[in-house]
Amino acid sequence: MAKYYLAVDIGASSGRHMLASIENGKIVLEEMYRFKNQLVEKNGHLCWEIDRLFQEILNGIKACGKAGKIPYSMGIDTWGVDFVLLDKDDRILGDTVAYRDSRTEGMDKKVSEIVSEEELYARTGIQKQSFNTIYQLMAVKEQNPEYLDQAESWLMLPSYFKFLLTGQKKIEYTNASTTGLLNAKTRTWDMELIRELGLKESLFGEIFMPGTEVGNFTPEIQAEVGFDCKVILPATHDTGSAVLSVPMENGEGIYISSGTWSLMGVENKTPICTEESREENLTNEGGVDYRYRYLRNIMGLWIIQSIKRNLEDKYSFNDLERMARENSGFASRVDVNDARFMAPKNMIDAIQSYCRDTGQKVPESIGEVMQCAYASLAKCYAQSAGSIEKILCRKYDCIRIVGGGCQDGYLNELTARATGKTVYAGPVEATALGNVLAQLMADGTVADVEEARSFIRASFPIKKIEP
């Protein structure tokens, strides 16, 4: 009888329950359940529907039971930085505000009055992003200090969902590393920084590594879903899971975890917290086996997804890609990481305004808008690869793209041309696979990171695109 491992992978626009088993030495994935995720406006803020998301997690678990495929273990991963504050009765304080919300405007200046940006980077190694947890917590302190006064627990979202399943509160390393509150060198909370910010030290508990067992379903959850299951911590930051499944050998090469965000970087054994690295806006996020994901956050397919929504989903992604190809000569480019693209009311308007403000030809047709978006992403990838190579004083000859974005053939082609590097695309379900690999490592089926990646190479086709 097959042994099943369930990966619950929740992204900014959708979530999925992927069930894995091993057949003839290869990982086989089966999608059991999929659901939408989206931001909602609540009390003047962009928020996550946290209760609905947990119900969707339960729905997917039930789908496994209904199919007669009971998982031996399961893990949950999500995006980073976002969190909940819980009171003494484990009730959420306030709304679960999302990282794209504007509440953090000006919070970087508040933090820099306490600790300079240079010192903060030297200690945490985390690139400055307006949505980092450190700025979100400063926003709570400024706007709703009563929440911090009443808070007895602080949990990032995947840890909160696991708490609801098991009754156990465990903070996981890769997600904790995205907060801007973790010391990059000691891999523990920077308690001096936390004190300087006026936050309660008691909120920041022990940090656990991927592969740690959280516990089993509570009796209430067992009664609802119809079975028991062991809950494991994967790399709960989705990029941490995705990078674990990048099919590179000996940790070598540049990767892009391509989804709503494009996370482009390399894997290091030690953090790089130099001033030169800070100026290049590169970050040192935690990975499995205490490896460092040295990368840059790039706005990614959020831009393409937003354009599709602005067009009321009249066109498929294939349609939009075709229209971009038909306008390959359109030359205007945008900085995809410009703040105006974070959460615009209309992405097409934002692209047009950027081109207008920078004296470039304004894209008018859908094809021109799409070509501008695609080519701008590829240009950013090339610039980011150059920054990484400059800091590390070495050249790489290929880029490995994993995640849903690796299916975008036109973007892969543009990336190969812009960087002059061979692109290897696949696997698609990288995050779910990384989630599963951590579970396989937890139960001893897979020995280490290298064996985990060899499993990926043996199990899934990889497409090669020459520059």
pLDDT digits (tens, 9 = 90+) for 164-179: 999 999 999 999 999 9
- Cis check for the bond before 427: say yes or no (omega within 30 of 0): yes
Domain, as residue range, for 396:
238-300+378-465
What is the pairing mode between strands 153-156 and 83-86? antiparallel
Q: Judge if 170 and 253 occupy the same domain.
A: no
Q: What is the reported pLDDT for 63?
A: 98
Residue 417 backbone zone (phi > 0: left; psi -120 to 50: alpha; other: beta): alpha
32 within some domain: no
Q: What is the reported pLDDT for 2?
A: 87
Q: Choose the final residue of a domain: 232, 251, 276.
A: 232
CA atoms within 13 A on the CB side of 454: 9
Residue 262 has pLDDT above 90, yes or no: yes
CA atoms within 13 A on the CB side of 455: 28
97 within some domain: yes
357 within some domain: no
Tokens of 377: 């992403």
What is the pairing mode between strands 45-48 and 26-36? unpaired
Residue ranges of E strands in 323-447 = 398-402, 422-425
Q: Judge if 142 and 289 occupy the same domain.
A: no
Residue type for 258, please?
Answer: S
Q: Choose the final residue of a domain: 216, 232, 248.
A: 232
Residue type for 362, please?
Answer: V
Catalytic residue among 82, 108, 238, 408: 238
| CA–CA distance, 236 with 173 (Å, rounded to integer) | 8
**What is the SS3 assignment for 78-125?**
ECCCCEEEECCCCCECCCCECCCCHHHCCHHHHHHCCCCHHHHHHHHC
139 within some domain: yes
Residue 211 has pLDDT above 80, yes or no: yes
Q: What is the pLDDT of residues 222-246, one digit of tens each?
A: 999 999 999 999 999 999 999 999 9
Q: What is the reported pLDDT for 394?
A: 94
Q: What is the pLDDT of residues 79-119, one digit of tens each?
A: 999 999 999 999 999 999 999 999 999 999 999 999 999 99
Q: Judge if 205 and 123 occupy the same domain.
A: yes
80-100 in b/e form (b: 16+ CB < 10 A) is bbbbbbbeeeeeebbbbbbbb
The percentage of residues in the chain with a pLDDT greater than 90, rounded to a whole number, is 97
Q: Judge if 164 and 277 occupy the same domain.
A: no
Q: How many domains, the chain?
A: 2
Across residues 142-169, what is the average pLDDT? 98
Short-list 27, 29, 46, CA closest to 37: 46
Q: Judge if 254 and 223 occupy the same domain.
A: no
Across residues 258-279, what is the average pLDDT? 96
Q: Judge if 286 and 418 occupy the same domain.
A: yes
Q: How confident is the model at residue 1 (pLDDT cuts 50, 70, 90)?
A: confident
Helix axes 347-357 and 302-310, enclosed angle (nearest 10): 110
**CB atoms near residue 24 (< 10 Å):** 7
- pTM for this one? 0.93
Q: What is the pLDDT of residues 358-368, one digit of tens each?
A: 999 999 999 99
End-to-end CA distance of the chain: 45
Q: Judge if 98 and 222 occupy the same domain.
A: yes
What average pLDDT does the chain have?
97
What is the longest distance spanned by two Cα atoms in the chain? 64
Give, as one character, the DSSP assignment of residue 307. H
Write the CB contacts of 79 (distance below 8 Å, at least 6 apart in sequence).
Answer: 10, 11, 12, 99, 157, 237, 238, 261
Q: Judge if 72 and 213 occupy the same domain.
A: yes
Q: For the domain that residue 55 is a member of, what is the CATH number?
A: 3.30.420.40
343 within some domain: no
Residue 72 has pLDDT above 80, yes or no: yes
Q: How confident is the model at residue 65 (pLDDT cuts 50, 70, 90)?
A: very high
Task: Work out whether the CA dihedral 102, 137, 206, 278 comes out positive or negative.
Answer: positive
Residue 465 has pLDDT above 90, yes or no: yes
Q: Choose the final residue of a domain: 232, 256, 290.
A: 232
Q: Judge if 118 and 95 occupy the same domain.
A: yes
263 within some domain: yes
371 within some domain: no
Helix, strand or coil, per DSSP, at residue 379? helix
Give phi and psi for 298, each to the nearest 5. -120, 140
Across residues 44-52, what is the average pLDDT? 97
358 within some domain: no
Q: Judge if 248 and 119 occupy the same domain.
A: no
Q: Judge if 216 and 250 occupy the same domain.
A: no
Can you spell out the DSSP letters for 266-292?
EEESS----HHHHHTT-EEEE-GGG-E
Q: Judge if 194 and 268 occupy the same domain.
A: no
| CA–CA distance, 155 with 204 (Å, rounded to integer) | 9
| CA–CA distance, 96 with 79 (Å, rounded to integer) | 14
270-280 in b/e form (b: 16+ CB < 10 A) is ebbbeeebbeb
Across residues 10-32, what is the average pLDDT? 95
82 is catalytic: no
Number of H helices, E strands in the chain: 18, 19
Which spans in 177-280 are helix H?
191-196, 219-225, 238-244, 275-279
Q: What is the pLDDT of residues 313-326, one digit of tens each?
A: 999 999 999 999 99
Residue 466 has pLDDT above 80, yes or no: yes
What is the pairing mode between strands 26-36 and 14-23? antiparallel
Across residues 116-135, what is the average pLDDT? 97
**What is the SS3 assignment for 11-49?**
CCCEEEEEEEEEECCEEEEEEEEEEECCEEEECCEEEEC
